[in-house]
């Protein structure tokens, strides 16, 4: 290759990169965010938004309990489950607290090895940590005996996931944001990555472009639920720390941007009353029973979503089992929005697909585990094509004869 040809190729590459940057920036500036405030009251049901999976300076995070508590309160988040890695010290230090409207609930993430990955333990009792002859499986068993909520992570990548050798777990992480965005760093998503990073300093919702539907995790989730009830939860995995060197860190993504992006929304039959232990118990019971859905609120807050099922005079919500001798009717409420695709699945297979509707009633006659997922369609330049972003992933309702 001659010098002239090399210069021409370099100039062409520069034009392509510049075009990608310009298209990406313009594309991101076209996005818009819709916010909904306060908890939603459906009459006999009450909905509250929270986050699960924050790490602080007790482990490898960059913030304190106080900073995160005040931030959650300022953003209208009702509860935050803080899961520092491999330390139960916050639980021993009694850092359970309320900051304004926000409940701060200490828990722990137990990270083991490449074979087992990690799992969350949430609850009142302090679990024994893996060490020496105490294996990850025995830690799960110990936490289960102490009535802890056990959520398994890394389910799609581990050689020998914990669930393969024990049944003593409550649920799984069907979404881990930190792992999801790191896995998205590839050439074929270049324009989305550039958009997120360039505009990020001006619009936190730009990070929404790093979201990908967790297809493999949802497949495992549906498969496990055909065996027994398994709760699904999203892990925000926020620590605002990317290690670049021995003493060099990049505080990305920020706590605030993630607290606005990935939510765990619970549905309760009793409202919060402002007392810490009462409201905390409602949160823990909702997580344990699967009365919740994951929402990705970077572009639009999902408060106002509800999924129920009725058979005869009995009504069930997400996480419930419902006896239906003949048939049942699924009822879905979707927050008013444009360009939304809603899907209803039975045992992992789509049985209903709906465009731009705010209310769905679907009669069903077959038993099975039914869940809902919804996508926001947003335009992606440079081809002006709409791409579906995950918005809502519900827990199932289990219909049986």
pLDDT digits (tens, 9 = 90+) for 111-166: 776 556 788 999 877 777 766 666 777 777 788 888 889 998 877 766 555 555 56
Mean per-residue pLDDT, 54-62: 89
pLDDT for the residue 128: 76
Which pLDDT band, with edges at 50, 70 and 90, does 39 fall under? low
Is the pLDDT score of 260 beyond 70?
A: yes
What's the pLDDT at 297?
A: 82
pLDDT at res. 202: 44
pLDDT bin (cut points 50, 70, 90) of residue 330 is: very high
Confidence of residue 199 (pLDDT cuts 50, 70, 90): very low
Q: Which two tokens stand for residue 307?
A: 């999924």
pLDDT band, very low/low/confident/very high, at 85 (cuts 50, 70, 90):
confident
* pLDDT tens digit sequence for 223-253: 999 989 999 999 988 877 665 566 666 666 7
DSSP 3-state assignment of 139? Answer: helix
Q: Of the CATH numbers 3.40.50.10950, 3.20.20.140, 3.10.580.10, 1.10.10.60, which one belongs to the domain with range 40-300?
A: 3.20.20.140
pLDDT value at residue 5: 78
142, 110 Cβ separation under 8 angstroms: no
Helix axes 3-29 and 190-199, enclosed angle (nearest 10): 60
Please tell me the distance from the alpha carbon of residue 197 to that of residue 18, in angstroms, as a whole number.
Answer: 15
The pLDDT of residue 277 is 94
Name the segment(s) of the chain with CATH classification 3.20.20.140. Answer: 40-300
What does the pLDDT read at residue 147? 85
Outline which parts of the chain fall under CATH 2.60.40.
Answer: 305-401
Q: What is the pLDDT of residue 162?
A: 54
Please report which confidence band the pLDDT of residue 257 belongs to, taking 50, 70 and 90 as the band edges.
confident
8 or 200: which carries more pLDDT confidence? 8
- From the list 387, 388, 391, the residue with the least C-alpha distance to 372 is 391
Cis before 72 (ω within 30): no
Which pLDDT score is estimated for 359?
94
Average the pLDDT over 256-271 and give the result.
89
Asked if residue 297 lies in contact with residue 374, where contact means CB atoms within 8 angstroms, the answer is: no
Supply the mean pLDDT for the chain.
82
If you average pLDDT over residues 319-338, what whole number do you get? 92
| 3-state SS track over 25-84 | HHHHHCCCCECCCCCEECCCCEEEEEEEEECCCCCCCCCCHHHHHHHHHHCCCCEEEEEE
- Mean pLDDT over residues 282-287, rounded? 97
Query: Quick one: pLDDT band at residue 391, thresholds 50, 70, 90?
Result: very high
What fold characterizes domain 305-401? Immunoglobulin-like (2.60.40)
* pLDDT score at 361: 97
Q: Average pLDDT, stretch 372-376? A: 94
Cβ(169)–Cβ(140) below 8 Å: yes
pLDDT > 60? residue 387: yes
pLDDT exceeds 90 at position 194: no
Q: Are 306 and 361 in contact (CB under 8 A)?
A: no
Range picked from 31-35, 197-201, 313-317 for highest mean pLDDT: 313-317
Q: What is the pTM of this model?
A: 0.84
User: 89 by DSSP, 3-state: which?
Assistant: helix
Query: Residue 215 pLDDT more than 50?
Result: yes
Counting residues of the chain whose pLDDT is more than 90, the rounded percentage is 45
Instruction: Look at residue 200 in the predicted model and tell me its pLDDT.
Output: 47
> Residue 100: its pLDDT value, please?
92
**CA gyration radius, the chain:** 22
Which helix (H) or strand (E) segment holds residue 306: the answer is strand 306-311
Please tell me the least confidently modeled range out of 1-5, 315-319, 380-384.
380-384
């Amino acid at each position: 290759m001659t010098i002239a040809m090399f210069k021409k190729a370099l100039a062409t590459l520069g034009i392509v990169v510049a075009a990608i940057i310009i298209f990406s920036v313009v594309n991101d500036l076209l996005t818009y965010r819709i916010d909904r405030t306060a908890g939603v009251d459906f009459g006999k049901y009450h909905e509250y938004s929270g986050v699960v999976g924050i790490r602080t300076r007790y482990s490898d995070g960059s913030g304190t309990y106080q900073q995160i508590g005040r931030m959650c309160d300022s953003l209208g988040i009702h509860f935050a489950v803080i899961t520092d890695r491999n330390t139960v010290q916050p639980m021993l230090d009694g850092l359970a607290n309320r900051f304004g409207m926000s409940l701060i609930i200490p828990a722990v993430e137990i990270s083991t090895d490449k074979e087992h990955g990690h799992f969350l333990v949430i609850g009142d009792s302090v679990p024994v940590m893996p060490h020496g002859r105490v294996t990850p499986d025995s830690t799960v068993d110990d936490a289960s005996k102490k009535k802890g909520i056990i959520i398994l992570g890394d389910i799609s990548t581990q050689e020998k996931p914990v669930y393969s050798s024990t049944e003593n777990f409550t649920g799984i992480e069907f979404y881990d944001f930190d792992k999801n965005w790191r896995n998205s760093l590839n050439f074929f998503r270049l324009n989305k990555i550039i958009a997120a990073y360039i505009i990020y300093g001006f619009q936190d919702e730009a990070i929404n472009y790093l979201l990908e539907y967790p297809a493999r995790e949802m497949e495992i989730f549906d498969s496990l639920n055909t065996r027994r009830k398994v709760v699904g939860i999203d892990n925000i995995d926020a620590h605002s720390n990317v290690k670049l060197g021995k003493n060099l860190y990049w505080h990305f993504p920020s706590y605030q941007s993630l607290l606005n992006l990935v939510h765990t929304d619970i549905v309760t039959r009793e409202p919060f009353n402002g007392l810490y232990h009462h409201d905390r118990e409602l949160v823990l019971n909702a997580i344990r029973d699967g009365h919740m859905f994951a929402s990705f609120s970077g572009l639009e807050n999902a408060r106002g979503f509800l999924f129920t099922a009725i058979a005869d005079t009995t009504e069930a919500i997400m996480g419930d089992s419902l006896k239906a001798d003949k048939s049942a009717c699924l009822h879905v409420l979707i927050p008013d929005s444009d360009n939304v695709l809603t899907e209803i699945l039975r045992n992992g297979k789509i049985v209903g697909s709906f465009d731009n509707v705010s209310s769905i009633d679907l009669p069903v006659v077959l038993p099975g585990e039914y869940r809902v997922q919804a996508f926001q369609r947003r335009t992606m330049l440079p081809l002006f094509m709409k791409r579906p972003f995950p918005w809502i992933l519900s827990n199932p309702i289990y219909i049986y004869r």
